[in-house]
């Protein structure tokens, strides 16, 4: 998976939900993928192409890191065990009364976001299988897979951070 496209998807998703920061979670054994992500992040930061700070987090190589709430635990430097509450209910670094709802997505989904905005949803649906309307198929190992992304939104701004983004909007067109 292209780390630049993953980071662009993270940046678009963070903008769309009004996130103030984002995390890219990788298993600690993915050293080649982590270095590629770090290099892409540095280049995109220097070019001003990220809408929020992105932190690359290396988590333990346990299976549960692939479970979304286990990923939150790993980002918070705890064992990657599942939480009872879903991330959109009780998110990353949540402290009552701030529930800090958190968006969690995988890199395949996020890497498709820039392409969908560029080519439109009808184009993306063509890559589906039958009635799926999206990509599907057997899991495959790509350069950043399997890992996940976490972005914590800031509901304290008086809204949940929703920003309308029209089809064919590029990252550079987003109002920072």
Q: What's the pTM?
A: 0.70
What per-residue confidence (pLDDT) applies to 24? 92
Q: Which residues contact 59 (CB under 8 A, 6 or more apart)?
A: 25, 26, 27, 28, 65, 71, 74, 75, 80
Mean pLDDT of the chain: 75
- Residue 54: what pLDDT? 95
Give the pairing of strands 148-153 and 19-27. Answer: antiparallel
pLDDT score recorded for residue 61: 79
- 13 has pLDDT over 70: yes
Q: Measured between alpha carbons, how far is 101 from 153 in angstroms, rounded to an integer?
A: 6
Residue 144 scores a pLDDT above 60: no
Residue pLDDT, tens place only, 95-139 = 777 777 788 888 888 999 999 999 888 888 887 776 766 655 444
Identify the helix (H) or strand (E) that includes residue 150.
Answer: strand 148-153
Band of pLDDT at residue 169, cut at 50, 70 and 90: low
- Identify the residue with better confidence: 37 or 163: 37
Question: Which overall architecture, per CATH, does domain 3-129+142-173 show?
Answer: 3-Layer(aba) Sandwich (3.40)
- Listed by start position, the domains of the chain span 3-129+142-173
Laid out side by side, the sheet with 54-59 consists of: 54-59, 19-27, 148-153, 102-106
Q: What is the pLDDT of residues 37-74, one digit of tens each?
A: 999 999 999 999 999 999 998 888 775 656 787 788 88
Higher pLDDT among residues 35 and 148, named by residue: 35
CA-nearest of 75, 83, 70 to 25 is 75
**Is the model's pLDDT at 148 over the cut of 60?**
no
């Amino acid at each position: 998976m292209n780390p630049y496209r993953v980071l662009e998807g993270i940046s678009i998703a963070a903008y769309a939900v009004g996130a103030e920061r984002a995390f890219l979670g990788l298993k600690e054994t993915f050293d080649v993928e982590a270095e590629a992500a770090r290099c892409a992040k540095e280049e995109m930061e220097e070019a001003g192409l990220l809408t929020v700070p992105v932190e690359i987090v290396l988590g333990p190589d346990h299976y549960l890191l692939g479970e979304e709430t286990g990923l939150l635990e790993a980002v918070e430097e705890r064992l990657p065990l599942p939480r009872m509450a879903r991330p959109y209910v009780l998110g990353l670094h949540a402290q009552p009364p701030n529930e800090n709802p958190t968006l969690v997505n995988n890199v395949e989904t996020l890497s498709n976001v820039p392409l969908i905005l560029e080519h439109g949803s009808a184009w993306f649906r063509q890559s589906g299988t039958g009635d799926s309307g999206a990509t599907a198929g057997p899991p495959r190992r790509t350069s950043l897979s399997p890992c996940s992304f976490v972005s914590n939104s800031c509901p304290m701004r008086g809204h949940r951070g929703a920003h309308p983004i029209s089809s064919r909007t590029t990252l550079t067109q987003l109002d920072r």
